[in-house]
Structures are given as C-alpha cells and as structure tokens.
Amino acid sequence: MATRRNQAILFDLDGVVIPTENIKGQVHAQTVASFGGSVSPSLYVDYIGRSHEEVRQAFISASGMHIDPDAYTRTFRQIYHALLGADLGFSPGAGELLDSLTRRGYRLALVSSSSASSVTLILQKLGISALFDIIITADDVSKKKPAPDAYLAALERLSISPAQAIVFEDSQVGVAAAIAAGVTVIAVRHSSNHRQDFSPACTILDSLADTPSILSLIEGIFSSQSPGVG
C-alpha cells in the first residue's frame, strides 16, 4: 500500500536481525586472551547494546591488564570479521519478516551500535543491503545508545515523525534510546539478554519467528498512533 511508504520499521542489527551477541562475547574473550589475559565471555551479557568502546573498556578492566585500546579494537575486528565470514545467518524469522515488510511497502532502516565496517560486512554476507532505505552505524553519531541520537538521525534521514516508526530492539539501552527518540519499541528476547529490563517496551517477543502475528502487531500499533493510516 502506498501509505506504508510513510511508515518505517527500524531494526537493531546484532541480536535482532542476526544472532551475533553470543559471538561477540566469545570474540572479546579471545581478544583479551590474545594479549595474555583471561576474561569470561559471559561478561558481555551485562553490556549488550553498548558501544564497542564501552564494552572494550569493560573487558580490559576485567583483565587487569594494560592493553592499548586501538590495538584491542584491531585484534577484535580481525577475529570478529573472520568469524562472520565463516558462518553467518539470520536470527529465527528475521529474514522472512524483512522480506514481508518490504513486500508490504514499509520503509526499512538499520540502526546499529556496531562499526560501519562490521555492519557492511554483515549486510554484504547476507545480501540484504538493498532492503534498507537508510543505515545508521556507530560511525554516524557521537553519542551511542542509550542516547537517542542514532534513532533521531534515522528519523531525520527518513523525513518521518516518531509516530510513523516502530523499532525492534534486543537491549535495554536500545529500548531506552528508541523511547528517548519518541518511537514505539518492540523488544526481542534471546538466550543472551535475559537480564535486560524490557518493561518500557510496548511488547516483548520471544523471537521474530511468527511473521503473521508480528505484521498484525505492527499494523495495530500504526493504527493506534495514526488513525486512518496504514
């Protein structure tokens, strides 16, 4: 429907579109190990959705070592990108949902706290770059989630109001960022975010696997926010 071109669905990437949160914890642990330290990958559970810089500092501090942050990031990206290149797929239901939303005429945006290089690699690997009208990464904003900057930037580039958008997030900071930008948020549970407080979200899903129900949910939210449009 033509009116849906005035409505947008904004997706976080890690943990929502792709199941990379477990991988990231492992990669941070491996990065510390490469410098001779030891930190459990489970530390990452407390930092899901945070910027790379914040997570990096947490792992360096936990290691008790003096690791150059830039050297840490270079090593992290080498390990992470190698893993992404070897094995990468969608979170359950994510591919079908993206395809269904596109066919129904919604505009799609990706709003990630990951670096542009990581996001680009992932989208190219999955072959879905063309699905998104705009892409916002950590490189595009100075203040990362839970600041609303990334979502505000997405709204501005799409030239839409918060009432014309819905966000899918998997982290407490991501939910907070979207709400601070005035956008309705649907939170998505997975095995790594059980500690995250999603109570401010309008709805909490166990996964993206039930596409028909999610499409109905989206239409219901837009109908309540903009009567007569949808």
pLDDT at 161: 97
What is the b/e burial string over 118-147, where b = at least 16 CB atoms within 10 angstroms of the residue's CB? bbebbbebbebeebbebbbbbebbeebbbb
Q: Are 156 and 177 in contact (CB under 8 A)?
A: no
List, in order, residues 6 or more apart from 35 with CB less than 8 Å away.
63, 65, 67, 71, 72, 75
Enumerate domains of the chain plus CATH numbers: 2-19+89-225 (3.40.50.1000), 21-86 (1.10.150)
pLDDT at 2: 39
pLDDT at 1: 41
pLDDT at 3: 65
Q: What angle, 0 to 180 degrees and rounded to 10, lies between the N-to-C axes of helices 21-34 and 52-63?
A: 50
Q: State the Cα–Cα distance between residues 166 and 8, nearest whole angstrom.
A: 7
pLDDT at 114: 92
Q: How much is the pTM?
A: 0.92
pLDDT at 4: 85
List the pLDDT tens digit at each of the 230 positions of the chain: 436 889 999 999 999 999 988 899 999 999 999 999 999 999 999 999 999 999 999 999 999 999 999 999 999 999 999 988 777 899 999 999 999 999 999 999 999 999 999 999 999 999 999 999 999 999 999 999 999 999 999 999 999 999 999 999 999 999 999 999 999 999 999 989 998 999 999 999 999 999 999 999 999 999 998 644 43
Task: Please give the helix or strand (H or E) that residue 29 lies within, else none.
Answer: helix 21-34
The Cβ of residue 81 has, within 10 Å, a number of other Cβ atoms equal to 16
pLDDT at 133: 97
List, in order, residues 6 or more apart from 5 with CB less than 8 Å away.
105, 106, 107
The Cβ of residue 58 has, within 10 Å, a number of other Cβ atoms equal to 17
Q: Are 116 and 139 in contact (CB under 8 A)?
A: yes
